[in-house]
Amino acid sequence: MKQQVVHILSKVVDLPEDQLKQLVATPPSREQGDVAFPCFQLAKALRKAPPQIAQDLVEKLNTQDLASYAIEKIVNMGPYLNFFFDRQKYSAQLLSMNITELLQPAQVDHHPTVIVEYSSPNIAKDFKLYHIRSTMIGQALANTYSALGYQVERMNHLGDWGTQFGKLMAAYLKWGDDETIKANPISELVTLYVKFHEEAEKNPALEDEGRLWFKKLEEGDPEAVRLWQWFKDESLKEFSELYHLLGVEFDHYLGESFYSDKMDRVIQMLKEKGLLEESEGALVVRLDEQNIPPCIIQKSDGTSIYATRDLAAAIYREETFDPEKILYVVDQRQALHFQQVFSVLKKMGYEFAHDCEHLSFGIMKIEGEIGSTRKGKGLLLNDVLEHAVQKALDIIEEKNPSLEDKEEIAQAIGIGAIVFNDLKHHRTHEIDFKWEEAFNFEGKTGPYVQYTHARICSLLRRAGQAPTEIMPHSVFEKDHSWELLYALQQYPSVLVETTKKNDPSQIAKYLLDLCQLFNRFYAQERIIVEDIAEQNAKLVLSKKVADILKHGLSMLTIKAPEAI
């Protein structure tokens, strides 16, 4: 609707279409029209009061040829120009579009590149429930940018380098048993890592051993490299299985180790620009002008730190992909780190640093407590997903035991419940994971959206006929039908808003609202009726809702079963 209004206004208002898009708005009530244009911004240039401008524009627009637009009337209401759409004509236009056609006006030109870094687990550590936040927020954003025509590079910046691996090597050499590790690699490696920190509290000298082994790794010591590669290979096997279960995909698995041969260049560049200073034996870049602590580039023992690797990674990405944006989906506890990294890039003269953005998100607590691998706490994500799938299967067995492919459908519902439970919250909000909320299959949940989609699919099967080409019909004049149609046409703008705010909860909330509108429509209308034209109109509308629900769920990496 807003796109049509922008086209009409561009004929009589001397403003670029992009600016007009920013100005057109949704009136607070349907009695005031479907789209409104405020005239305040034109007052200074035209030297007229906004109400007079609105009146003048109505007169100009009424002389235009508006036959191709589905607009019933244009009315000036004070300083606003209000557009009322012909419900039957506009509905027929909207419902004739498929998803591709619907999204096309919202898509960007020239397919600019966006890099999204997300998930980024540490190797040799379990994938805990709280790791789902970066993984699914990042995947949802990557999906949405891609749907809007961006070239998306999905990056998994694996935590596969750093002092923690020196600690793990030291722990393995002291207490590790090959057969035990081979039988259950990740679990045993985590046990060793936890034991290291427990023992280091009693014997701080262990920390020096850990740092020594990481230094050996950076220097290419064969035994250190062998152990590191073994830990990494075993981790990737487990991660790949979990990603497959979640439907998560990456274009690049470039861990911190990938940049190990690119850090010397960064250090050399910093030296040449006179940005490096020595501080207590370490090399740092001071950021006093921003009133933040110095960014450590090299530790006093000569080893690198993750800021150095992030600098090398950012420069590599800029030079390799020439991105419009680089998005880092990392929790809010790393805010200072990214502020330091982006500031150092700017001091190095890299303009692209202004296009780097840390998409922080709130931490996930589990029944009120923050998980920690170091302390051995935190629910395993795989265990939570298995529990969720079993819960969904139990519900299916109780309510629809004859359902075909119920194991596959239970997996879609169970995993969908966990993912939606995360993504329905604004990404910056802290989440306290509670079992009873995650498995509440009524209300504002993923299964509620999936059930609504399945209900529509069942309705279409029961009708026994595929919806045919839509024609204008009086059923679209009714308020509950029009509200549903009005929501459908907003879907592209929801995706655009999601990328503007980098917040997938925009989609989740929209899907919940759409479900509520459809279920209200379904409660007030008999869909299967004797009048074939009326039934067809209602079926076409219902199918369009199902299509949008399925597409919206796919943006969140959630499946939409056709039967539940």
| pLDDT tens digits for range 100-153 | 999 999 999 899 999 999 999 998 888 888 889 999 999 999 999 999 999 999
To the question of domain 2-85 being in CATH 3.30.450.20, the answer is no
- Average pLDDT of every residue of the chain: 92
DSSP letters along 9-39, please? HTTTS-S-HHHHHHH-B--SSGGG-SEEEE-
**Per residue in 283-302, pLDDT tens?**
999 999 999 999 999 999 88
Q: How far is Cα 135 from Cα 364, in angstroms, rounded to an integer?
A: 13
pLDDT score, position 377: 52
In sequence order, what are the residues at sequence separation of 6 or more whose Cβ sits closer than 8 angstroms to the Cβ of residue 183? none
Question: Rounded mean pLDDT of 203-207?
Answer: 93
Between strands 364-366 and 356-359, the pairing is: unpaired
Decide if 8 contacts 69 (C-beta within 8 A): yes
Q: How far is Cα 82 from Cα 1, in angstroms, rounded to an integer?
A: 12
Sheet architecture: strand order including 369-370: 369-370, 364-366, 431-433
Q: How confident is the model at residue 369 (pLDDT cuts 50, 70, 90)?
A: low
Asked if the model's pLDDT at residue 371 lies above 60, the reply is no
pLDDT score, position 62: 81
Tell which CATH classification among 3.40.50.300, 1.10.730.10, 3.10.560.10, 3.30.470.20 matches the domain 381-555: 1.10.730.10
**Per residue in 253-293, pLDDT tens?**
999 999 989 999 999 999 999 999 999 999 999 999 999 99
| In the block, residue with structure tokens 């961006």 | 150
Instruction: Report the run of H or E that residue 100 belongs to, with start and end.
Output: helix 99-103
**Per residue in 482-507, pLDDT tens?**
999 999 999 999 999 999 999 999 99
Q: How far is Cα 216 from Cα 258, in angstroms, rounded to an integer?
A: 17
pLDDT score, position 435: 73
pLDDT score, position 370: 65
Task: State which fold the 118-370 domain adopts.
Answer: Rossmann fold (3.40.50)
pLDDT score, position 378: 61
Q: How confident is the model at residue 158 (pLDDT cuts 50, 70, 90)?
A: very high
Asked if the model's pLDDT at residue 372 lies above 90, the reply is no
pLDDT score, position 529: 93
CA 475, 101, 498, 545 torsion-angle sign? positive
Report the DSSP beta bridge partners of residue 296.
284
| In the block, residue with structure tokens 């949405």 | 144
Q: How confident is the model at residue 376 (pLDDT cuts 50, 70, 90)?
A: very low
**pTM across the whole model:** 0.91
Asked if the model's pLDDT at residue 401 lies above 60, the reply is yes
pLDDT score, position 27: 93
Asked if the model's pLDDT at residue 460 lies above 90, the reply is yes
In sequence order, what are the residues at sequence separation of 6 or more whose Cβ sits closer than 8 angstroms to the Cβ of residue 158? 120, 121, 122, 123, 232, 253, 254, 255, 256, 257
Domain ranges of the chain: 2-85, 118-370, 381-555
Percent with pLDDT over 90 in the chain: 78
CA atoms within 13 A on the CB side of 231: 30
Decide if 433 contacts 367 (C-beta within 8 A): yes
Asked if the model's pLDDT at residue 227 lies above 50, the reply is yes
Q: How far is Cα 344 from Cα 438, in angstroms, rounded to an integer?
A: 41
